Amino acid sequence: MGRAAAASIEHDPQRDRYRAGVLKYAEMGYWQPGYEPSETDILALFRITPQDGVDPQEAAAAVAGESSTATWTVVWTDRLTACDRYRAKAYRVDPVPGTPGQFFAYIAYDIDLFEPGSIANLTASIIGNVFGFKPLRALRLEDMRIPLAYVKTFAGPPTGIVVERERLDKFGRPLLGATVKPKLGLSGKSYGRVVYEALSGGLDFTKDDENINSQPFMHWRDRFLYCMEAVNRAQSVSGEVKGHYLNVTAATMEDMYERAEFARELGSVVVMIDLVIGYTAIQSMAKWARRNDTILHLHRAGHSTYTRQRSHGVSFRVISKWMRLAGVDHIHAGTVVGKLEGDPNSVQGYYNVLREDHNPVDLQRGLFFEQHWGGLRKVMPVASGGIHAGQMHQLLTYLGDDVVLQFGGGTIGHPMGIQAGATANRVALEAMVLARNEGRDIWNEGPDVLAAAARSCAPLKAALDTWGDVTFTYESTDTPDFVPTATAA
Amino acid sequence: MSENLARAEDCERLDLDGLYRESAVAQTIGALDSDLVGLAPVKRRVREIAALLLVEKLRRSIGLQAVAPPLHMSFTGNPGTGKTTVAMRMASILHGLGYVRKGHLVVVTRDDLVGQFIGHTAPKTKEVLKRAMGGVLLIDEAYYLHRPENERDYGQEAIEILLQVMENQRDDLVVIFAGYKDRIDKFFASNPGMASRVTHHIEFPDYTAPELLVIAELMLQQMQYCLSDTARAALEEYIERRMTQPNFANARSVRNALDRARLRQANRLFEARARPLSRLALSTIEDADIRASRVFAAAGGSS
Amino acid sequence: MRLTQGAFSFLPDLSDRQITAQIEYCLAQGWAVSIEHTDDPHPRNIYWEMFGPPMFDLCDAAGIMAEVRNCRATFPKQYIKVNAFDATHGWEAMRLSFIVNRPSNEPGFGLAREEGAGRNLRYTNFPYAAGLPHGKRY
């Protein structure tokens, strides 16, 4: 062994890599520009805004590192693992069109990093650590590709669009709902009155609001009893299957199970939960719903705290994917024309993620990856928030047939009363579907169709007179990057 | 009444040519002329019917007396004379002029309409009719529907149902009866109700020998073969001889003959496979491939 | 009482022309159309009587309308509905269903409440008509 040999040991790349100290993430193996993602990799697309002076590749590598195995300094214990495999790989960085300083970073994660069938684990891994990272000014999880191998570890929606329709025996038109208003304060008996009026007037569903759980003004058991009385009465006067989303959200899982069991005992076809109960609770409830043949409605309470701003947070399309895997049957996904945020292209992207068996890449609608759902059941999107009968032609065109259209204020605020409000919405919807099937151009002739239907339906006429001109036109804060201008909702 | 007619004439300049070109029927008729060999009387009849329907359409459009023109037809002739092909074109013409809503063609024989036991026929016939509605129903060898000598024959039931639909749902369906002329004539003679509802009778003459030769060459062209000069002469002779023999099915028989010639060509090439082949050799039918036919042997000589 | 099952029950009864247009829409989507009838309108009565098998491969509504008229003539006092079935992957289910005939007098439903413990109630909807045997209901 001469000097030459000694020299070669000095410059061994493995020893250099694991020498104590701080290395750039890109040098630790988290930046691999040539990497070809495998079929079983989980892919994530982050929108990164590095701090000034931070190189985008390094930032991407840092995100990859901090969302997988790295820490801010080299650790020798890495050598005890097949670390090359467990490291996430940032394999591509593109500038975001029209937004200097922002980049799209594509990162691949080995499937072994994740527990099968666990949204809690999937999210803890990907967004658990990295969003507060100082070298990034802002970070958003824009889209994910879940490989079929991982999709298959989830049970998915307990009911799904097809089975829901078969249970309700309702085919060929969107479903109609309304949230009971005012949001808070009604007693159980008064609450049930609203439900009866709305369902007997023609809606298919009524809904607890997200913050109706069990408050001093109305305990949950009372609400459940009065609502089921209303549901059954409405069923008997119409001959149709009706439902009310009984909110079983509570402080603990034990309380939630107790409430859900009671709902089932009373014969409700549907129960409801809020997003704020957390991913673990949602999966538990999905399992319960499947065991008990109940439709599971999810209110996306709290999501806009992190989904709304384009630069930072988690995109709602990712939430939609997680929720489909976790297993909900209904999820609020936007109305386009109502009072809440939702650009038409983005919203159509969310609806496609929820309803299709296969999503091709569709940059215009914000879908960056091809996604196969492997036969996982389809989630029924819910459109709720500031919509009224006068917009029926727009709603049908943007959202299609497999959606629940919820007109809370639009039913309960009707000048002729709640039943009339429900009837107005139902007649408007049926007339619009009839016209669309006949081949009419409802986008342009919609108002004519509504006016014609209103001639034989006084409640509809009153609704159009009251709200016909109401629109919510503001520029969207979260539009897709690959469309020239924000489309006015 | 005549006053009304005169007034109608005065106030409008009616554009028959425009209607013709608008309806795209011109294309179908043009294609009929160019795509199908021979069939001169057929083409003439088709054009005549099309003209009638076009004028009817124009008359209706300005409110003149609009009795739905009778459209049911019979196509008579030997097998292989193009009846099904022309039926398809006819469906397209009727659709182009708005006489049938969808313009598809459904081809059936007796077995598709008649059942084997009691109660089987009506649903079977109705099934077929439902499928054909909006288009044209071609009943091939229609005379087999009627078997008076067999008591347990359910064909009569099918005929009744057909009659009813032909009369009451003229807007929904056009029926074409096809088969040998003499047998179709006999069928109509014993079913006067049926006969009275069929207005247009088109006879499909046998192809002449030169026409069959052209058809043969078109077929070969489509299959990407060609004939050597001697082969062409042989084929001409073949056709003339074959036409006189029994069971001649016009274009179909020619097709069969060409298939056999291809078989012989393939075997000839195989026998001589030691020598390399040219592309032309692969595609050429030679004299010998045709002369080997039994048709020549039967006549007692080959060249 | 007016039974509001089906996609268009809140609109005035559909004319034959309107029904034809809906059937044409179904055929254009490639759906198979079928006709069913019943005299038991309970919402959980899923299996109405089939009036003939589902009709596949049709190009035009005329044949189906003939069957609708046939069914009306045969069962004038029953509820009759037209269904459209989609056999493609991911659906394999009914896509449209609407009522095309109803009895002239619809007595509606009664609601029976069976009282249980703790103000719990078990509900039963029963159609008044179903109190009579088949054939005598409407």
Residues B39 and B158 in one domain: yes
Cross-strand pairs, B75: B178, B202
Residues B106 and B153 in one domain: yes
Which contiguous run of DSSP H or E holds residue C106? none
d(CA B11, CA A355): 59
Residue C34 maps to a domain: yes
Phi, psi of A187, deg, nearest 5:
-80, 170
d(CA A318, CA C61): 44
Residues B188 and B271 in one domain: no
Whether residues C60 and B129 touch (CB distance < 8 A) is answered with no
Phi, psi of A467, deg, nearest 5:
-115, 0
Residue type, A108: A
Catalytic entry in A89, A297, A299, A330: A299
Which contiguous run of DSSP H or E holds residue C79? strand C79-86
CATH of the domain at C65: 3.30.190.10
Write down the number of H helices and E strands in chain C: 2, 6
Residue C39 maps to a domain: yes
Please list every residue in chain C whose beta carbon sits closer than 8 Å to the beta carbon of residue A430: 7-11
Q: Which residue has the higher pLDDT, A322 or A18?
A: A322
Q: Could you tell me the pTM of the whole model?
A: 0.85
- The string of DSSP codes covering B164-183 is HHHHHTTTT-EEEEEE-HHH
Whether residues A267 and C123 touch (CB distance < 8 A) is answered with yes
Residues B136 and B276 in one domain: no
Would you call A299 a catalytic residue per the annotation? yes
Residues 6+ apart with CB under 8 A from B209: B236, B239, B240, B243
Cross-strand pairs, B284: B226
Query: Where is the domain boundary, B169, B204, B239?
Result: B204
d(CA A472, CA B96): 48
d(CA A430, CA A421): 14
Residues B177 and B257 in one domain: no
Whether residues C25 and A438 touch (CB distance < 8 A) is answered with yes
Phi, psi of A474, deg, nearest 5:
-130, 155
Q: Using an 8 Å Cβ cutoff, are B76 and B204 in contact? A: yes
Q: Which domain holds residue B234?
A: 209-297
Checking if the pLDDT of A429 tops 90, the result is yes
Whether residues A433 and C7 touch (CB distance < 8 A) is answered with yes
Query: Where is the domain boundary, B139, B174, B204?
Result: B204
CA within 13 Å, CB half, C132: 9
Whether residues C109 and A236 touch (CB distance < 8 A) is answered with yes
Would you call A24 a catalytic residue per the annotation? no
Burial bucket for residue C77 (CB in 10 Å: 0-12, 13-18, 19+): middle
Residue type, B49: I
Whether residues C62 and B135 touch (CB distance < 8 A) is answered with no
Residues B15 and B90 in one domain: yes
pLDDT digits (tens, 9 = 90+) for A289-344: 999 999 999 999 999 899 999 999 999 999 999 999 999 999 999 888 887 767 88
* Strand residues in A51-161 grouped as ranges (E): 89-95, 103-109, 136-145
Residue B302 maps to a domain: no
Q: How far is CA C58 from each of CA B100, C30, C66, C68, rounded to the nearest angstrom? A: 15, 9, 13, 15
d(CA A58, CA A222): 58
Which contiguous run of DSSP H or E holds residue B137? strand B136-140
Residues B154 and B250 in one domain: no
C59 touches chain B (CB under 8 A): yes
**Axis crossing angle, helix B83-96 with helix B40-61, rounded to the nearest 10:** 20
- Here the tokens at position C136 are 């005598």
- Here the tokens at position B9 are 């004439």
What is the ipTM for the molecules in this complex?
0.92
Omega of the bond leading into A116 within 30 degrees of 0 (cis): no
Checking if the pLDDT of A177 tops 80, the result is yes
Checking if the pLDDT of A7 tops 70, the result is no
Q: Using an 8 Å Cβ cutoff, are C5 and C43 in contact? A: yes
- Here the tokens at position C70 are 């046939």
- Here the tokens at position B70 are 């009778």
CATH of the domain at B27: 3.40.50.300
C13 touches chain B (CB under 8 A): no
pLDDT range class, residue A8, cuts 50, 70, 90? very low
Rg (CA), chain B: 24
Task: Indicate the number of domains in chain B.
Answer: 2
d(CA A86, CA A75): 15
CATH of the domain at B246: 1.10.8.60
Q: Using an 8 Å Cβ cutoff, are A215 and A223 in contact? A: no
Q: Using an 8 Å Cβ cutoff, are C55 and C33 in contact? A: yes
Residue C138 maps to a domain: no
Whether residues C109 and A426 touch (CB distance < 8 A) is answered with no
Residue C21 maps to a domain: yes
Residues B110 and B160 in one domain: yes
Interface of B with C (CB under 8 A): 101-102, 104, 123, 126, 129-131, 133-135, 169, 171-173
Edge to edge, what strands does the sheet with A103-109 contain?
Answer: A89-95, A103-109, A42-50, A136-145, A313-314
Tens-of-pLDDT digits for all 303 residues of chain B?
A: 455 555 555 556 778 888 787 777 888 888 888 888 888 888 888 888 888 888 888 888 888 876 767 789 999 999 888 899 899 989 988 898 888 999 899 999 999 999 888 888 888 999 999 999 999 999 999 999 887 777 777 888 899 999 999 988 888 999 999 999 999 999 999 889 889 999 899 999 999 999 999 999 999 999 999 999 999 999 999 999 999 888 888 888 999 999 999 999 999 999 988 988 889 988 999 988 898 888 887 654 443
d(CA A310, CA A479): 8
- Here the tokens at position B291 are 């002369």
Residue B225 maps to a domain: yes
pLDDT digits (tens, 9 = 90+) for A243-286: 999 999 999 999 999 999 999 999 999 999 999 999 999 999 99
Q: What is the pLDDT of residue A487?
A: 46
Beta strand C79-86 pairing with C93-101: antiparallel
Phi, psi of B202, deg, nearest 5:
-120, 130
Burial bucket for residue B194 (CB in 10 Å: 0-12, 13-18, 19+): buried
d(CA B101, CA B83): 22
Query: Where is the domain boundary, B181, B204, B227?
Result: B204
- Here the tokens at position A164 are 């829901």
**Closest-approach residue (CA) in chain C for A423:** C10
Phi, psi of B175, deg, nearest 5:
-110, 135
Residues B193 and B215 in one domain: no
User: What chains are in contact with A, requiring at least 3 Cβ pairs below 8 Å?
Assistant: C
Task: Indicate the number of domains in chain C.
Answer: 1
Residues B103 and B164 in one domain: yes
Q: Which domain holds residue C53?
A: 16-104
How many CB atoms are closer than 10 A to CB B192?
A: 9
- Here the tokens at position A193 are 């009155």
- The string of DSSP codes covering B262-287 is HHHHHHHHHHTTTS---HHHHHEEPH
Number of A–C residue contacts, CB under 8 Å = 106
Assess whether chains B and C touch, using the rule of 3 or more C-beta pairs within 8 angstroms: yes
Q: Give, in degrees to the nearest 5, the angle at Cα B162 between B159 and B168.
A: 140
Interface of A with C (CB under 8 A): 162, 165-166, 169-173, 202, 225, 228-229, 232-233, 235-241, 265-267, 357, 375, 378, 423, 426-427, 430-431, 433-434, 437-439, 453, 456
- Here the tokens at position C78 are 């029953």
Q: Using an 8 Å Cβ cutoff, are A285 and A256 in contact? A: yes
pLDDT digits (tens, 9 = 90+) for A350-360: 999 999 999 99
How many CB atoms are closer than 10 A to CB B23?
A: 19
Residues B215 and B194 in one domain: no
Residues B55 and B9 in one domain: yes
Phi-psi sector, A399: left (phi>0), alpha (psi -120 to 50), beta: alpha
Q: How far is CA A44 from each of CA A131, A142, C27, rounded to the nearest angstrom? A: 14, 8, 42
pLDDT digits (tens, 9 = 90+) for A138-175: 999 999 999 999 999 999 999 999 999 999 999 999 99
Residue type, B47: R
Write down the number of H helices and E strands in chain A: 19, 15
Longest alpha-carbon distance in chain B: 87
Q: What is the mean pLDDT of chain A?
A: 91
pLDDT range class, residue C3, cuts 50, 70, 90? very high
Residue C97 maps to a domain: yes
Checking if the pLDDT of A460 tops 80, the result is yes
Which residues 11-30 in chain C show a CB within 8 A of chain A? 11-12, 14, 18, 21-22, 25
Cross-strand pairs, C2: none
